[in-house]
Structure 1
Amino acid sequence: MNDAPGDMRNERLGPVYGIEDLSAATELRRAIADLERAADAWLVPSGLAAVTVPLTALLRPGDEVLTTDAAYGPTRRFLKRHLGARGVMTTFHSPDASTGEILAALTARTRVLLIESPGSLTFEMVDVAALAAACRERGVITIMDNTWAAGLAFRPLEHGVDVSVQALTKYAGGHSDLLMGSIAATDPMLRREIADTIEDLGWRVSPDDAWLALRGLRTLSLRYAEQARSAQIVTDWLQQQPEVSRVMWPALPGDRAHALWNRDYTGAASLFGVVMKGGDEAAAHAFMSALTLFGLGYSWGGFESLITHENGQISMRNRPPQIEGQLLRLHVGLEDPADLIADLEAGLEAWRAPS
């Protein structure tokens, strides 16, 4: 086949520049758009970039963002450090705020309501559909971080949200071997702003990573359901342990967010919080160090179980929650739940041991 110089800029023949999406990324974008029920979807190099790109695209100096005080730590940092230095103010509402209280916090300057439901680390939920409808009436754009539901158990666009983002690094990838985020939208104006920002910033993903994410999507629904089944077994066991004060997981009957989860969601991520009865950092670290199946790591959603200690991160909030003791965040992978419970028993034994 002979190359023709006149074809180099002919977009009808495909990408004309190497940074544009090639075949694997194009197929992945189509798959994510279908999953999210969106008119279009875009890929960026990380889950954090999936949040920061639409914020960058849609906010201008003098605008305001309203979001939960339980926001994902790096998102909070971007809002305060990067956008704050560029004239965009952020207001944080209480993670436990009602729909009316959140709407009352909107001002004439509020351009975006950034939703995390469940909230990071403490798993509060909000009435997404009610907030989206009210914001649309007020001309406020809604962006939702939907990583916990993986675009599978909850579809924000079907509930009136303008932009849905998620970290494909986690459940969609599923094998802890890639970094990627997705952004999905339907409104033509928002799509143009987001697409232009991605083009200007040069945020693209490699063909190999796109292929890995396509591979992960093939088993997403099976892994999501099986890991939730295992998480149910593990959380039921944890609630019976005398060292545990409570488990924060919306799928649990009795959880403060259960009614909203039961109404709107078709499944649950296998990520939850465990509040211990008292203890200190040394006890929490002893617990974690005694584990052999639960790895120490942040990037949940893959096949392996993980644990983190989170008292330090929740102390960064404007109004840190008053909890009964040490806060551990657990992610249940694809290991046998009986083996995971045996591992946690070893952790509890270390927790009980004298320092």
Structure 2
Amino acid sequence: MDLAYIINELGEEREQYFEAVAPPIIQSSNFASKTVADMRYKMKHEEDEYMYSRGNNPTVTIFEKKMAALEGAEHAVAFGSGMGAIAAAVLSQVKAGDHVVCVKRPYTWAKNLMRKFLPRFGVEVTMVDGKDIVNFKEAMRPNTKLLYLESPTSFTFELQDLSAVAAFAKENNCVTIIDNSFASPLHQNPIAFGIDLVVHSCTKYIGGHSDVMGGVVCGSREHINQIFKGEFLTLGAVLSPHDAWLFIRGLRTLPVRMERVAASTHKVVSYLTQHPKVEQVLFPFLPTHPQYELAQRQMRDNSGQFSLYLKAARMEQVDKFCDSLKHFLMAASWGGHESLIFPVSATYASEEMKSDLPFNMVRFYVGLEEPEYLIKDLEQALDKM
């Protein structure tokens, strides 16, 4: 299926809504039935019918069809946040007495789900270094039901060998879930490597404008229907029709945005790797990165995130650098038009919040600004540090 067709045409039945070029926002919370038999059928087959927008909604369906196609999946279900998608996908695969193997240092709230939430309900979790398949094998137990991946990870950008992990999971009757938000569906398709379920924080590259929040789970129709009838309908973390419309808008420009971000990031990273005040840059598409070959094999291109370690003996030096930046906003997330930083030192506000990463690490996202504009900003901030 052509990328242009998916983004611009798939799911858009324009003859049904006055040939409007942009699909309408079907804001209705519920949908009428003409007969009792009709309503009875909808209730029995709610996963495929329009009855109540806490289940299916026509605008949301268009978005779900596009996301499933972009990931090479049979089906998808959209949520009101990326964490809603992650939680539903994970909870759909475990019960009390089960065991999960999860990569170390996943997205913060996914880690919270693994370490604090699941154990409350009798689900044990083992966190492993996902760079080596041996660590998954050594963590495996008879009651292991799920392997949770994030490749690359959110701050340290460590990869997992998706083909190897997927094959191992299938040998042991385990389901695999991956957070693919770093790469976007344009740069990595985990299902092609054998992964079962792919989750995205659509808040990031899919939305692309830092003005909408949502998530999606893509996978087989069997898995998605299981989530829809269980965690989705029960917990109610649904995506609104208006937000689905914003994501459809975001998809229109996704290819051109990702192309610009990839090229600009290379230029910014190239500058920083040569700077005497930068200790190390963590970026999978650097030839010096230990997993460079794996990144080349699994991903079609880089995206805009990387981290660096500053040559700083004191936290005040890191703070000075970050505070001196004029054109990088200090904020969470990524994927919008604006470039961002997230200093690990900000988490040192209390012991409860404190990251296990060093204070001299700063995560970057390169947006749509001219790379030369960003490099000048970095240069003056590094001088002040």
Fold shared, TM-score > 0.5 on shorter chain = yes
RMSD value over aligned CA atoms? 2.3
Matched, 1:65 2:100: yes
Q: Is the 8 A contact 1:142 1:163 kept in 2?
A: yes
In the other structure, the counterpart of 1:193 is 226
Matched, 1:306 2:362: no
Cα deviation, residue 18, structure 1: 3.4
Higher RCO, 1 or 2 (CA under 8 Å, sep at least 6)? 1
For 1:260-271, list aligned pairs within 5 A.
Answer: 260-271=294-305
In the other structure, the counterpart of 2:200 is 166
For 1:191-270, list aligned pairs within 5 A.
Answer: 191-196=224-229, 197-270=231-304
Matched, 1:19 2:54: yes
- SS of 1:267 mapped into structure 2: coil
Matched, 1:276 2:310: yes
Match for 2:181 among 147, 163, 182? Answer: 147
| Comparing 329-338 and 261-270, the one that deviates more | 261-270
- Structure 1 distance, partners of 2:76, 2:267, is 35
> Could you say if the C-alpha distance between residues 213 and 142 of structure 1 is closer, same or farther in structure 2, counting changes exceeding 3 Å?
same
TM-score by length of structure 1 reads 0.92
Matched, 1:124 2:158: yes
- Structure 1 distance, partners of 2:161, 2:77, is 26
- Structure 1 distance, partners of 2:346, 2:168, is 35
In the other structure, the counterpart of 1:328 is 362
Cα deviation, residue 102, structure 1: 2.0
Amino acid at match of 1:118: P
Q: Is the 8 A contact 1:42 1:184 kept in 2?
A: yes
Q: Is the 8 A contact 1:58 1:193 kept in 2?
A: no
Question: 1:244-279: CA deviations, max 9, x gaps?
Answer: 011101011111121100111101111000111133
Q: Is the 8 A contact 1:71 1:119 kept in 2?
A: yes
Amino acid at match of 1:16: M
- SS of 2:187 mapped into structure 1: coil
- SS of 1:166 mapped into structure 2: strand
> Could you say if the C-alpha distance between residues 222 and 216 of structure 1 is closer, same or farther in structure 2, counting changes exceeding 3 Å?
same
- Report percent identity of matched pairs: 32
Which consecutive unaligned segments of at least 5 residues does structure 2 have? 1-31
How many residues end up aligned between the 2 structures?
Answer: 346
Question: 1:1-25: CA deviations, max 9, x gaps?
Answer: x984645555399511232322210
Amino acid at match of 2:98: D
Q: Is the 8 A contact 2:83 2:109 kept in 1?
A: yes
In the other structure, the counterpart of 2:20 is none
- Structure 1 distance, partners of 2:153, 2:200, is 14
- Structure 2 distance, partners of 1:23, 1:89, is 38
Match for 2:168 among 108, 113, 134? Answer: 134
- Structure 1 distance, partners of 2:340, 2:302, is 17
Question: 1:22-77: CA deviations, max 9, x gaps?
Answer: 22101000000100111100100111111111111111001111111121111111
Q: Is the 8 A contact 2:77 2:224 kept in 1?
A: no
For 1:105-124, list aligned pairs within 5 A.
Answer: 105-124=139-158
Question: 1:112-171: CA deviations, max 9, x gaps?
Answer: 100011122111111111110111011111000000111111111111001000100000
| Comparing 6-15 and 295-304, the one that deviates more | 6-15
Which consecutive unaligned segments of at least 5 residues does structure 1 have? none
Cα deviation, residue 94, structure 1: 2.2
Q: Is the 8 A contact 2:312 2:318 kept in 1?
A: no
- Structure 2 distance, partners of 1:18, 1:69, is 36
